[in-house]
Structure formats: structure tokens, C-alpha cells
Structure 1
Amino acid sequence: MGKYKSQDTISAKEGRFFLDGIEMFNAVKLELTIEKNKVEIKRLGVRMTGHKTTGLSGSGTVTEFHATSNVGLLMQKYKDTGEDVYLDGIATIDDKASGRGVERIALTGINFDSLTIINMDSESDDVIKDEIPFTIEDFNYINLLNSL
């Protein structure tokens, strides 16, 4: 590992998000968290509780300007037919000012959890933004140049 340079810090604005090959131009924020599932290991004669990792779970939120009803239509499809939709996505970070290069993360099995269908407010001068939580089945870094 080389010496850290301040200019290699990545700007949060240099990201793009694609769902099933279509760029979400109206997305303004994407967060994904991978959590370890752990069980507690308690042993006689040991005062500290140990922990054993037994798996992983992925969940996140995409925030977008309300410009389409695409996610609402996915929810309606499940409501009307019982067929749930799982999508694949690519999150790309490409800050040209950073020396890190392009970072791509493939997300598979994206399934939206909830959606606000109507969000009107006569007292607001802001535009409508939707925060859409989701879970994923898997993730993989693609073409990562600076790996461990």
C-alpha cells in the first residue's frame, strides 16, 4: 500500500447508478451497507463474549427526484400479480481528479422494500424526492485497481 494523498479522496458527486442497464439520471444519493450476521459465543471461564460471523446481509437506500413512476409500477406489479421483481445494478465511482481510477460494484438481486406513492406538500418550495430502501442478494467489485 502506497502513501495516502489528499487528492485521491473521492468526490461523492462523481457516481453513477445503473439498474438493469439503464442509468438512473434522477438519482441523487445511493447508500449500500453490508452487515455481518453474528452469533454470540459465551464460554465458561471467559468474561468477554465472543462473536462468530455466520453470514452477510446487504441493504441500502436510493434517493431520487420523483421524475418517473418506475418503482411504483414494480410495486403495482407485485400487488396485481404476486410476481416480485429483482433487478441487477452497477454503481460506478469515477472521480477524474483522484488517482484511484474507476471503481465499479455490481449489485445483484436488488429488491425494493417500500415506496411513498404520494408525497405532496403545499407549504414546500422544494421538489419531490423519494427515498427508496432496498435489499440485495450479492455484490462484487469489478476491475478494482487498488485492491488489498
Structure 2
Amino acid sequence: MGTTMNARDAISASMAECYVTIDGQRKHLINIINLEANVEKTKSELPILGRTGKGNKSTGWKGTGSATMYYNTSLFREMLYKYKETGTDVYFDIQCTNEDPTSSVGRQTVILKDCNLDGGILAKFDADAEYLDEDFDFTFDDFEIPEKFTALSGMEE
């Protein structure tokens, strides 16, 4: 039998930290429940002489994300209000770090740069709910990966 991954090397879903930097002020988003950021590559289909199928060439990318947090901060509503009142849009950075001390892979940090809200919830209540949360979607224009997971033992042969 070949090499397999150790179960302890799966990263615990809740072992993470998230920070947002807005106008030079860094805030620890301790009330965030989940966040996912994605890169979608844009491609062009290219006809190629002598082939029945078309080739695909990457021509760019788009960064999008979504998150859910407890409904207990006005931070993102304040950004939407500022845009409404002044026409000045707010851009911010989000830094996410995954680190499970049980895993041998260490930590990974990703910084999403020049994030911009797609919109957001202004007011909310629900007499039948246990707690209030809110979802928000955003785009980002750049990203960095200053810390990368260490390769799992057995991945490199």
C-alpha cells in the first residue's frame, strides 16, 4: 500500500483568524463565521488550424468572495452609508490565516487586497431565530500568499 495522509493533517475548519484593514485601521473579525474567496480565470477559445477542437488560453482573472458573520457590528453598513452619502467607495483588505496546531503543515495566510462590497444588509430581525447573522459578497483586485502550508509528508517523491 502506498503512502497516505495522516488524519491529523486535515485542517480544522474553525482554526483560523481573520482581520480586515479599512482606511489603515486593522480590526480582528472575531464575529465572522465563514469566508470563502475564489479566483475565476477568464479564458478565450482559440480555433487552431488542423484541430477539430478549440484551444483555451487564459486571458485574466476575477476575484470574488462571500462571508457570513454574526449580525453584531455596523462596520460594513458604515461603508455602504459612506458610499451613499459621499459617492466615495470604500476598499479594504482581508487577511485570513489557517493554522491547526495538530497538523504538520503549519500555517497559511492569504491577503485579499482592494476588496469591495457588492452590497449588504441594512436592518434585520427574526423573532423566531436563535441568533442573527448576515451574508456579504465582495470582489477583490489582488491577493498575496505570504505564508504557505508545508507540503505533506509523502506528497514529494
TM-score, scaled relative to structure 2: 0.86
Equivalent residues in 2 for 1:41-52 (5 A)? 41-52=46-57
Matched, 1:133 2:137: yes
Q: Which amino acid aligns with 1:5?
A: N
Query: What CA distance in whole angstroms lies between the structure 1 residues aligned with 2:16 and 2:48?
Result: 46
Match of 2:11 in 1: 10
Deviation at 1:18, TM superposition (A): 0.1
What stretches of structure 2 of length at least 5 have no aligned partner? none
Deviation at 1:3, TM superposition (A): 5.8
Matched, 1:87 2:92: yes
What stretches of structure 1 of length at least 5 have no aligned partner? none
Query: What CA distance in whole angstroms lies between the structure 2 residues aligned with 1:113 and 1:125?
Result: 26
Query: What CA distance in whole angstroms lies between the structure 2 residues aligned with 1:39 and 1:71?
Result: 36
Runs of 4+ with >6 A deviation: none
Query: What CA distance in whole angstroms lies between the structure 2 residues aligned with 1:32 and 1:128?
Result: 23
Q: Secondary structure at the match of 2:105?
A: coil
Deviation at 1:44, TM superposition (A): 4.3
Query: What CA distance in whole angstroms lies between the structure 2 residues aligned with 1:14 and 1:36?
Result: 29
Identity value in percent = 29
Match of 1:58 in 2: 63
Q: Secondary structure at the match of 1:46?
A: coil
Deviating more after overlay: 46-55 vs 9-18: 46-55
Query: What CA distance in whole angstroms lies between the structure 1 residues aligned with 2:54 and 2:124?
Result: 46
Q: Secondary structure at the match of 2:135?
A: strand
Q: Secondary structure at the match of 1:67?
A: coil
Asked if 1 retains the 8 angstrom alpha-carbon contact of 2:104 and 2:150, the reply is no
Question: How many residues align structurally?
Answer: 146
Of the three residues 14, 30, 38, the one matched with 1:33 is 38
Q: Secondary structure at the match of 1:135?
A: strand
Match of 2:80 in 1: 75
